[in-house]
Structure 1
Amino acid sequence: MSATSAVKLLVVDDDHNHREMLRALLEEWGYDLVTVDNGEEAVALCQESPFDLILMDVRMGGMSGIEATRAIKSYNPAIPVLIMTAYSDVANAVEALKAGAYDYLTKPLAFDALKLALKRSLDHANLRDEVRALRHELAANVDSRNVIGQSPAMRQVLGLVSAIAPSEATVLITGESGTGKEVIAKLIHANSNRGKGPYVAVNCAALSETLLESELFGHEKGAFTGAEKRREGRFLAANKGTIFLDEIGEIPLSMQVKLLRVIQERELQRVGGDQTLKVDVRILAATNKDLALEVEEGRFRQDLYYRLNVVSLQLPPLRERHEDIPLLAMHFMKIFAERNGKMVKGFTPAAMDRLVKHTWPGNVRELENAVERAVVLLVGEYISERELPPTIAEAEEESPRPSRLDFANMTLDEIERLAVQDTLEQVGGNKSEAARRLGINRKTLLAKLGDGK
């Protein structure tokens, strides 16, 4: 197979004989070819289908090649355009280049010059794409060294990431807010076969239903008030790469239906459009909600849940990673000390003791914010309790748990209920996870709690 067989060219020329000559020549060279005889049709085609390069005549009836080039470049500046002109004057050449053309050729075309110009423009486009991919890779360059932690819980997470990253499976990342779900999503992407492609993140909770649909799928010009031009959505932006749908549990039911179709068919329609567009993406999703419960209570579609939950990855809360707290605290301290131009040597023993004993309801994000505050307020070289947030520095000791003597005066039902409540606290209120750890089903757990919900 020719090296050019995957390259799709659009030839625009109102001279029938010249157009057919180019068709025969370029197909012989192995290019995939589409030909049209006017600028208007060329612009319309470029809006509907991707082309790797356009070979455009400069003078045509109706829209000129330079006008068509400007129109195409206005919404797709990346596509290379080679202008053909029978008038080899400098004015036409300069105007074509100002319109965004990569180069120009004079008629009659010299075949060697044409072949060289095609190669140069395609090589230039490929180099640009490689640079873009490298930028995406650097933006998402999160390897295991950036995931701080040596606890058994985090070693287990990293082992799962290593196993699932090379696959194409959809992954549902669960865990409390602040546990680092997007860090893990970037880690999966960076270690996948799509690592050189784009990584696109969308916070589904931050947008209204109308805006979310447009953000994900794009919209046509005039689709709604303010839609002054066509816009590609995040799914198309993530083509050949990874899209991360954060807070997936916040998507309204009506949007869930549309998202399900994209996941199943890998195709979408822009808002206000009827054209079906194919998209090649890997989907990672995250939520701090119990989606199984959301399904039970009718707030989340069961079929979408199963589509997203092909592989599940639950991140442990920071309170279950006490041995990681000093490592994380020192990591954040170095970052913020450098950012604020301060010489910080570490934490006092009392300050570190407070950090380790804190329950961290906000998880790693709360710890990061606490350390940043401490560095900003610090005057000396060591962070003490004085620089820590009051909720951490002045926290009282937790009430002691019931002793064995207390259990002697409790009924078995009371002891079981206490065990269930204790387990629920450990897993942040996740009833499905608590039931799994206790070795019972969810219905039994609810019964022991006296909760019929």
Structure 2
Amino acid sequence: MMTVTKDDPLPKLLSIEDDEGVRESIELALKNLYSIHFVPSAEEALKYLQEGGQADVATLDICLPGMSGIEALPQIKRIRPELPTIVISAVSDASTGVKSIKLGAYDYIVKPFMIDEIRQIIHHALESNLLKKKNLSLIREVSEKFHPDYLIGISASMTEIREKISQVAYGMTSVLITGETGTGKELVAKAVHYMNPHRLGPFTAVNCAALPQDLVESELFGHEKGSFTGASHRRIGAFEQAEGGTLFLDEVGELVPHVQAKLLRVLEEKKIQRLGGCSPIRLDVRLISATNKDLKQAIEKGEFRRDLYYRLCTFPIHLPPLRERQEDVFPLIEHWARILQKEMNLEILPQFSSELVEALQAFTWHGNVRELRNVLEAMFLTHRSRKPLVFTINHLPKVYLNKISSPKESEIFKESPDEESLMGKLEDFEKKLITEALTQCQGKSIETAKLLKISPRMLKYRMKKLGL
């Protein structure tokens, strides 16, 4: 409930009323609750608002000298679309009330009215408007949180992903996000959703891989009471829950064939039918899907519908694994370190030794960004009481310490003898190979490493070893 304290200014009421008796009634009823500004005509009200006059709520008489209230209402809404306006009429005419609401009035009240009646309507109008402002503020806050700029990374691939999100956010185009587990597919989906100011509905996420096969249809499309054994009440499915917003289907490649067919029909017809239901329900939902599967391969195996794939993949976004964008590891370390410092109430933000950063960049990260975050969290939790100013390799979880010395995981730690003539010849050949690759890639180390099919860290090590 909205309350006003002594320190708060009173909410401002603009009363557009030429009848002295009504003005006196409004002032008597509301003077202790609102700061009231009276104007006797629509023209004066419009001038007041155009010149920046303050109002949190307005009452508008229909019968005014000059421009009528009905004529003025659309102009008021153009100047101040967020201003809740209550129309007052001396005639109880349903068509006038309906027309007022269609033109943007918050409510309609007939003279003579009870003092409590108008007091209650104005109070509800203010509360409703306050809630709307809070919701818009929350949407803006969340939109900023999931803005593409918050997708951490300095690599060319991450720059391209941010550009793609900005391109596709505005509209209803279906998006298919691909990438390994832990690459941040849901984060990208949320960025697409919250970047669109017209998608004020919810972001609803469903993990298709986690749904029991016998409940997938019910979860997605809903069901009516009695539609199957155990359906004791109506259930609203994920599509309806996402009305006006976005439905995110994670691991869409796990859907069984008959559900794929139903999903295809929904995408084609823009409507669903609950299990056991008789009437189709029209939808205003954007679909974003994600998978860590190779859907083209699944199509060849007969596991995924080709027509559904092309419906889902109108706008594809691929997230490369972390091992292919090692230059993003350090920005991610800094990002998660700040978050973990805040979560754990640490006064000092720990630093990371260069040896530790190089080791973290050299790992293959099968779990991608999620795995990196988990490693950092484990380090913070294990050593928070000791409060190290600088994290080193020795602060890594034991399993990762073992990886450093594993030749399979990090060839950089494996020494090779170079005294023998054969090794000298091999080094000459390696020098030539790396030099040619660097020339071909215009000196760009990441592209050179890809061409040579080694990690950028390994390339740096070999170049240093060979004196390049």
Common fold: TM-score over 0.5: yes
Residue 92 of structure 1 is matched in structure 2 by none
**Number of aligned positions between the proteins:** 326
Whether contact under 8 Å (2:148, 2:166) holds in the other structure is no
CA-to-aligned-CA distance 1:250-300 (integer Å, 9 cap, x gap): 111111111111111110112221221111011111101111111111111
Residue 314 of structure 1 is matched in structure 2 by 318
Pairing partner for 2:369 from 364, 372, 381 = 364
Pairing partner for 1:383 from 378, 391, 395 = 391
**How far off its partner does 1:348 sit?**
2.0
Whether contact under 8 Å (1:355, 1:392) holds in the other structure is no
TM-score by length of 1: 0.63
Residue 77 of structure 1 is matched in structure 2 by none
Residue 347 of structure 1 is matched in structure 2 by 352
Distance 2:183 2:242 in 1: 25
**What percent of counterpart residues are identical?**
35
Residue 273 of structure 2 is matched in structure 1 by 269
Correspondence list, 1:159-174, <5 A: 159-174=163-178
Distance 2:225 2:128 in 1: 27
Residue 392 of structure 1 is matched in structure 2 by 400
CA-to-aligned-CA distance 1:313-354 (integer Å, 9 cap, x gap): 111110111111011012111211221233342112222121
Quickly say closer, same or farther: Cα 1:138–1:28, change in 2 above 3 A.
Answer: closer
Answer with 1 or 2: which has the greater Rg: 2
Quickly say closer, same or farther: Cα 1:214–1:124, change in 2 above 3 A.
Answer: farther
Residue 157 of structure 1 is matched in structure 2 by 161
Distance 2:93 2:231 in 1: 39
**How far off its partner does 1:308 sit?**
0.2
Distance 1:212 1:134 in 2: 35
Residue 221 of structure 1 is matched in structure 2 by 225
Residue 198 of structure 1 is matched in structure 2 by 202
Whether contact under 8 Å (1:137, 1:195) holds in the other structure is no
AA at the equivalent of 1:355: L
Pairing partner for 1:231 from 225, 235, 253 = 235
**How far off its partner does 1:26 sit?**
4.0
CA-to-aligned-CA distance 1:115-158 (integer Å, 9 cap, x gap): 99888767755654564455455445311332111111111111
AA at the equivalent of 1:339: E
Distance 1:405 1:159 in 2: 41
TM-score by length of 2: 0.61
Whether contact under 8 Å (2:153, 2:328) holds in the other structure is yes
Distance 1:132 1:228 in 2: 34
Residue 323 of structure 1 is matched in structure 2 by 327
Would you say 1:288 and 2:288 are equivalent positions? no
Distance 1:331 1:246 in 2: 25
Would you say 1:241 and 2:223 are equivalent positions? no
SS of 2:373's partner is helix
Correspondence list, 1:81-160, <5 A: 110=111, 128=131, 131-132=134-135, 134-135=137-138, 138-139=141-142, 141-160=145-164
Distance 2:344 2:314 in 1: 43
Distance 1:213 1:134 in 2: 35
Quickly say closer, same or farther: Cα 1:31–1:147, change in 2 above 3 A.
Answer: closer
Whether contact under 8 Å (2:176, 2:315) holds in the other structure is yes
Distance 2:427 2:194 in 1: 48
Unpaired runs of 5+ in structure 1?
A: 5-20, 33-51, 56-81, 83-104, 407-421, 428-453
Distance 1:111 1:250 in 2: 64
CA-to-aligned-CA distance 1:148-176 (integer Å, 9 cap, x gap): 11111111111111222223211101111
The 10-residue stretch of structure 1 (211-220 or 134-143) with the greater mean CA deviation from structure 2: 134-143
Distance 1:170 1:204 in 2: 17
Whether contact under 8 Å (1:245, 1:283) holds in the other structure is yes
